[in-house]
C-alpha cells in the first residue's frame, strides 16, 4: 500500500509538521508499503533537502508562488491520488489542510477523520483517536481504507530532516493547474512586528474568554506590566476586537516559547495549546478544573481570575516598593 504524506512550506522553510506527517505514515507501514511525500510550491530544493524520511517525493512545482491556494493544492493532490492509488492520505491540520482534507474526501468519495491524535492499523481498517469539542472529548473511530486523515500537529514525533535521493524525486508542473484554477492569489502580507513580536517575548500574560469583556483586559495588562510581560489573547478575545491580531497566541496566531506564560481564563483548545505548550513555565488560572489548559500547565489554579489578578497585583506592587 502507498501512503501519501502531505507537506507544506513557504518562504524557504518547510513546516515542521511536514516531517510529522511522514512519521505518522511511516508508523503505519507494513512490508512493501511505501511512504510518498507530496509537496506543492516553489521551494522544490528545500523539500528535497528535508523530506528524505519518505521513500519518494512528488513535487508539484510552481515557478511563481510560494503559497498554493488550497483548492489548487487539492486538485494537484487529486491527480497524484489517481496516479498512485494510495490507501491512505495524511493531511496536516493547518490553514491549508482544513480545506484540502475535506475537498479530497468529497472528490474521491473517501471517508475523512479530522483532528487525529492516534492511529492503529488493523488490516484494511484503521482505528483512530480524534479530538472533539475543543479537546474535551476523545472519539474512538473506525475507518475503512482508502481514507483521508487530518492529523493534529504534535500528535506524532517528527521524522528527522534528511535529503532525499534525486532518483526518488518526481517533479510535476503545477503551473497549468495554478493558471486554470478558480482561486487566484493576489497578495501575501507578512506580519509587521513593529508593535510587538510575541515570538521573542520572555514573559507573556494571556487572557482568554474568561476575561469577560474588553474593559477587564486592562487589569491583566497592568499585571503584565508589573511582570515585565507582554499581554496576549486567545482567539475569542482577538476575534472580539479586544486585542490586535499580532497579540493572538495559537494555531492561527503566534507560536510562542516564553520563560513565563500566565494563562488567565484560557480554556486551552487544541488550537491554542499548539501555540504555547512549549513555554518554559506555564501557569493556568481557570474556574473549570477540566479545562484542557491544565494538561500542559506546570501550575494550575481554579480560583476566580479577577480575585487572583487583584491579589497578585497587590503583592507585586508591595514587593516592588520594598
In this chain, which stretch among 20-28, 30-38, 54-62, 89-97 interacts with other proteins, using CB under 8 A?
A: 89-97
DSSP for 201-228 reads -SEEEEE-GGG-SGGGHHHHHHHHHHHT
Q: Which residues are CB-contacts of 160 (< 8 A; sequence separation ≥ 6)?
A: 19, 53
In this chain, which stretch among 19-27, 44-52, 169-177, 305-313 interacts with other proteins, using CB under 8 A?
A: 305-313
In this chain, which stretch among 21-29, 43-51, 56-64, 93-101 interacts with other proteins, using CB under 8 A?
A: 93-101
Taking the C-alpha atoms of residue 271 and residue 20, their distance in angstroms, rounded to an integer, is 17
13 binds other proteins (CB under 8 A): no
CB atoms within 10 A of CB 271: 20
113 binds other proteins (CB under 8 A): yes
26 binds other proteins (CB under 8 A): no
In this chain, which stretch among 43-51, 56-64, 155-163, 312-320 interacts with other proteins, using CB under 8 A?
A: 312-320
**Closest CB to other proteins among residues 112, 164:** 112
CB atoms within 10 A of CB 169: 20
# residues near other proteins by CB under 8 A: 103
288 binds other proteins (CB under 8 A): yes
Considering the complex, what minimum distance in angstroms separates the CB of residue 5 from other proteins? 19
Taking the C-alpha atoms of residue 152 and residue 30, their distance in angstroms, rounded to an integer, is 23
Build a one-symbol-per-residue string for 214-253: x at contacts with other proteins by CB under 8 A, - elsewhere: -----------xxxx-------x-xxxx---xx----xxx
**Closest CB to other proteins among residues 160, 299:** 299
Build a one-symbol-per-residue string for 45-84: x at contacts with other proteins by CB under 8 A, - elsewhere: ----------------------x-xxx--x----------
Q: Which residues are CB-contacts of 71 (< 8 A; sequence separation ≥ 6)?
A: 99, 103, 181, 182, 183
- Residue 175's Cβ-side half-sphere holds a number of Cα atoms within 13 Å equal to 4
Considering the complex, what minimum distance in angstroms separates the CB of residue 151 from other proteins? 13
Q: Which residues are CB-contacts of 36 (< 8 A; sequence separation ≥ 6)?
A: 2, 3, 4, 5, 54, 55, 56, 57, 58, 80, 84, 86
Chain residues 159-178 in contact with other proteins, contact rule CB under 8 A: none
Contact 61, 46 (CB under 8 A): no
157 binds other proteins (CB under 8 A): no
Amino acid at each position: 500500500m502507498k501512503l501519501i504524506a502531505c507537506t507544506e512550506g513557504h518562504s524557504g522553510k518547510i513546516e515542521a509538521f511536514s516531517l510529522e506527517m511522514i512519521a505518522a505514515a511511516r508508523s503505519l507501514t507494513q512490508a512493501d508499503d511505501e511512504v510518498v511525500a507530496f509537496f506543492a510550491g516553489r521551494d522544490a530544493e528545500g523539500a528535497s533537502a528535508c523530506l528524505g524520511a519518505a521513500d519518494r517525493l512528488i513535487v508539484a512545482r510552481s515557478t511563481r508562488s510560494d503559497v498554493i491556494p488550497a483548492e489548487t493544492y487539492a486538485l494537484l493532490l487529486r491527480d497524484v491520488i489517481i496516479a498512485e492509488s494510495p490507501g491512505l492520505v495524511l493531511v496536516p491540520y493547518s490553514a491549508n489542510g482544513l480545506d484540502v482534507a475535506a475537498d479530497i474526501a468529497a472528490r474521491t468519495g473517501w471517508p475523512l477523520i479530522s483532528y487525529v491524535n492516534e492511529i492503529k492499523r488493523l488490516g484494511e481498517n484503521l482505528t483512530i483517536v480524534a479530538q472533539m469539542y475543543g479537546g474535551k472529548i476523545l472519539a474512538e473511530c473506525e475507518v475503512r481504507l482508502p481514507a483521508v486523515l487530518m492529523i493534529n500537529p504534535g500528535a506524532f514525533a517528527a521524522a528527522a530532516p534528511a535529503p532525499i535521493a534525486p532518483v526518488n524525486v518526481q517533479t510535476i508542473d503545477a503551473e497549468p493547474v495554478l493558471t486554470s484554477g478558480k482561486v487566484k492569489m493576489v497578495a501575501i502580507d507578512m506580519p509587521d512586528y513593529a508593535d510587538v513580536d510575541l515570538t521573542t517575548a520572555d514573559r507573556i500574560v494571556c487572557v482568554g474568554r474568561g476575561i469577560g469583556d474588553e474593559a477587564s483586559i486592562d487589569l491583566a495588562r497592568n499585571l503584565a506590566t508589573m511582570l515585565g510581560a507582554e499581554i496576549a489573547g486567545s482567539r475569542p478575545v482577538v476575534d472580539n476586537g479586544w486585542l490586535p491580531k499580532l497579540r493572538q497566541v495559537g494555531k492561527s496566531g503566534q507560536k510562542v516559547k516564553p520563560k513565563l506564560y500566565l494563562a488567565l481564563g484560557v480554556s486551552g483548545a487544541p488550537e491554542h495549546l499548539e501555540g504555547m505548550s512549549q513555554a518554559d513555565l506555564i501557569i493556568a488560572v481557570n474556574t473549570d478544573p477540566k479545562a484542557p489548559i491544565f494538561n500542559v500547565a506546570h501550575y494550575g489554579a481554579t480560583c476566580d481570575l479577577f480575585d487572583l489578578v487583584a491579589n497578585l497585583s497587590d503583592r507585586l506592587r508591595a514587593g516592588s516598593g520594598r
